[in-house]
Structure 1
Amino acid sequence: MERCLDERNILLIPCHCEHTFYSHRRNEFLVVDIPEFLLGQEHRQPKGTWYPFDEKWKAIRFLIIDALEQGESKSSVLMDLFPYVVKQLFRGVRPVSIQYIDDHFDEDVTLEQLASIENYSVSHYSQWFRRKTGKTPTVYQQEIRLEHAQQLLRDTSLPIGRIAREIGMQHQSSLTRLFQKHLGMTPAAYKKTMDLAKKDDIKEKSAP
């Protein structure tokens, strides 16, 4: 499968996966072979994983290149760095597109946008997403929106229409349908239930 890698991402390729790469410009790629024994069985993934090339990875790249330029490719500098790299790769691993939904739950995110983030076709992305989460991207976003709406109903006095807009829904009726679908009650009923629970909790705490 051909994948396009640019300056915004890095790609972890599984062990024993045959691969080639081609760059349109010289020195565009930095390829680092991590010793397999450092990965451990739980880190030997069956497919490639994408990561955003953020400031943390820019710093790691600088350290690797600096070691190479100093002629230390086999020195303890790189061997000490590899365990840290592995730790960062697998710390709270979350696919970039799923994290994007979490961060932009109040926006109208299209399937095409999400597929592009993972460098998949739309059809392949839909299958991949279901394998990862057990649900479609639409249902996943609905559940994230529901969680945020519940939190706002519990912890604020915002009107229900305003809460609908806060989570990316234009109409209060859309929020009502979401609550009825997943919770079997309206937002107003949910808020009333939460308010009563809070009052009961206060009474219990103040009781002698």
Structure 2
Amino acid sequence: MLMDSLQEMICEKRTYTRLYHSHKHAYSQFLFPLEGSIDLETEGRQVKLNPDHFLYIPPQCEHRFRSIGRNECLVLDVPLHAMKIDEFRAGSGIEAALDPFWSSIRYLLTEEAKAGTANSLHMLVQYIKEKLQSHSYASIAYIHSHLFERLTIKKLAEIEHYHPAYYSSWFKKQTGK
């Protein structure tokens, strides 16, 4: 199911049910779990998203999700006109650990969800966009730091939470090699 595009950014807390819900939409979405975990699947990728990670889902990326047990997630929906990230970089989503930078972003978004203005949210999204465009993939960083070791597609796919069969085409898309 393709959901309508957004005109304005939406930043709010949401909860999810135990039933898988599958869809895609014409806007970008950021998920920051605050409590519990969310099982999420995209093209070739399965992630159990916990409060110590976040996920960026690009426009038109088919995804399904559910959550078993108590949960709460901070969700930022961003219209296409406000967040155009190179698909080469975004692929089927970007999952990353909440380092100090992303923890700060989550805090600021949480405050904006309470009583933020559209202008301050827009400026924050532009800042996030710049950070995402410079994102380095964990498996590629692993290759660079383990050049003299025997590397396997299985190991590299595990690092990115991809199936090995999907990882090869994903890697080629990211690096051209």
Q: Give TM-score, length-normalised by structure 2.
A: 0.60
Q: Classify 1:5/1:31 alpha carbon distance in 2 versus 1 (closer, same or farther; 3 Å).
A: farther
Aligned match of 1:6: 49
Q: How does 1:119-130 map to 2 (within 5 A)?
A: 119-130=161-172
Shift of 1:108: 4.1
Report the 3-state secondary structure (helix = DSSP H, G, I; strand = E; otherwise coil) of the residue aligned with 1:31: strand
Cα offsets for 1:164-205 (capped at 9, x unmatched): xxxxxxxxxxxxxxxxxxxxxxxxxxxxxxxxxxxxxxxxxx
1:26 alignment counterpart: 70
Does residue 37 in structure 1 map to residue 81 in structure 2?
A: yes
Q: Does 1:89 align with 2:132?
A: yes
Runs of 4+ in 1 over 4 A off after TM superposition: none
Which residue does 2:107 correspond to in 1?
Answer: 62
Take 2:55 and 2:161, find their aligned partners in 1: how far apart are those partners? 11
Query: Mean Cα displacement is larger for which, 118-127 or 54-63?
Result: 118-127
Tell me how far apart the structure 2 counterparts of residues 27 and 97 of structure 1 sit (CA, whole Å). 29
- The structure whose residues are more often strand, as a share, is 2
Distance of 1:125 and 1:76 partners within structure 2:
39
Counterpart pick for 1:117 among 159, 163, 169: 159
Give identity over the alignment, percent.
33
Separation in 2, partners of 1:81, 1:133: 29
Flag structure 1 segments of 5+ consecutive residues without an equivalent.
Answer: 136-208
Which of residues 78, 91, 99 in structure 1 aligns to 2:141?
99
Report the secondary structure of 1:120's partner residue: coil
Q: 1:85 corresponds to which letter in structure 2?
A: I
User: Cα RMSD (Å) of the superposition?
Assistant: 2.6
Distance 2:158 2:65 in 1: 20
- Structure 2's unaligned 5+ residue stretches are 1-42
**Distance 1:85-1:97 versus aligned 2 partners, 3 A rule:** same
2:87 aligned with 1:50: no
Higher relative contact order (CA 8 A, sep 6+): 2
Q: CA deviation at 1:28?
A: 4.8
CA distance in 1 between counterparts of 2:146 and 2:124 reads 34
Q: Distance in 2 between matches of 1:30 and 1:109?
A: 36
Aligned-partner residue type, residue 66 of structure 1:
E
| Structure with higher helix content | 1
Give, as a single letter, the amino acid of the residue that structure 2 aligns with 1:21: F
Kindly tell me the number of residue pairs found equivalent between the two proteins.
Answer: 130
1:30 match: secondary structure? strand
